[in-house]
Chains A and B, each alone.
Chain A
């Protein structure tokens, strides 16, 4: 065995992975070559230092860090919704008009409030589809809350398993759009509720979702 070969096989030698015969040749070479003995010794020191680096205690988290992190993660769905959906203001005088349309083409307008007819949309199983809910407000308003409650078997994309999501928002004067990307995980369908609340005022919009 020559020095080039010992260099190539160094890591296998240090890890004890060389076959018996090769190891014997390696040891024979070390007996005769001071330079390779130094290389092996440096290699052993490196592995020992790396192991020691790993054994050092890593910084411990501050008191309460884990609890805060878990709580923050659980709140993350609310925070994500607030960041993603820009709704800027919402008045106590909630408009009576609800317009819903699918991203692709279809447009629905809810009738007057004294003729409640629940709009129906149809979606395919396991195929995400976005619906835009439009809330019209006569004035801007802050510190409102929006709660969306899904029927069983319907989920908001990205929030698997969550039947109800609530977040704080605000609405601008005029039209405010809430896009909802829904996924049907079963063929049951059902009624989706979207409730806007502000102070003592609230309004619930209903959307019947059929799954084919």
Chain B
């Protein structure tokens, strides 16, 4: 490998490393499972490497990279649509060994709360991609609507309507499933 290539690789690594955790988390939220999240993560890094010169020029590369990831995910929506959040075995839940809620709840309360989370994941899996993503990003990840607007190029008003419809749909699903 030439010195030119070594320099580019080192620059790429230096620029990306502080952002990798955030990108990984975003990939998981979009894809819904670890294997596909890692595929998405790899695809985006591969896509970005030839654009290293652009990356160097950008003041805040995090949102730019997240947007590339989001657009890439949407472009491959069919592949990920079958892997939305669904009921999974306990050992496949994010964060192995889920702890009790802080504050000292009883084991019975913990079990009910874990059931709620599993039911919620099932319900999220039944939403459309658009509804699921806005709920995941806003209500689960804490993104503001303006940040989601930058990410998805969708007006805040549209996102707000979509969020409200998504939550209403979730409530319907959960009620039908008998949880709430």
Contact = CB atoms under 8 A, between A and B. Distances in A.
Given A53-B140, A59-B28, A70 B174 contact: no
Contact residues of B: prevailing secondary structure: helix
Interface residues of A, number: 34
Interface string B31-46: 0001001100110011
Q: How large is the interface on B (under 10, 10 to 19, 20 to 34, 35 or more residues)?
A: 35 or more
Given A52-B117, A65-B38, A69-B42, A77 B140 contact: no
B170 A66 contact: no
B87 interface: no
Contacts of A65: 38
B48 A61 contact: no
A148 B4 CA distance: 14
A120 interface: no
Contact of B164 (A11, A42, A45): A11
A54 interface: yes
Contacts of B53: 160-161
Nearest to B143: A54
Contact of A49 (B5, B98, B116): B116
A76 B46 contact: yes
A111 interface: no
A56 interface: yes
B29 to A, nearest CB: 8
Contact of A160 (B24, B37, B50, B140): B50
Contacts of B45: 69-70, 72-73
Interface of B: 2, 4-5, 8-9, 12-13, 16-17, 20, 24-25, 28-29, 34, 37-38, 41-42, 45-46, 48-54, 93-95, 98, 101, 113, 116-117, 120-121, 135-136, 139-142, 163-164, 167, 170-171, 174, 180
Q: Report the 6 A-B pairs with minimum CB-CB distance, sorted nearest first.
A: A54-B140, A57-B95, A73-B45, A50-B139, A76-B46, A161-B53
27 contacts: A11-B164, A42-B171, A43-B167, A43-B171, A45-B180, A46-B167, A47-B139, A50-B139, A51-B142, A52-B117, A53-B140, A54-B142, A58-B25, A58-B28, A59-B94, A61-B24, A66-B17, A69-B45, A70-B9, A70-B13, A72-B46, A73-B12, A73-B49, A74-B8, A159-B50, A161-B8, A164-B2
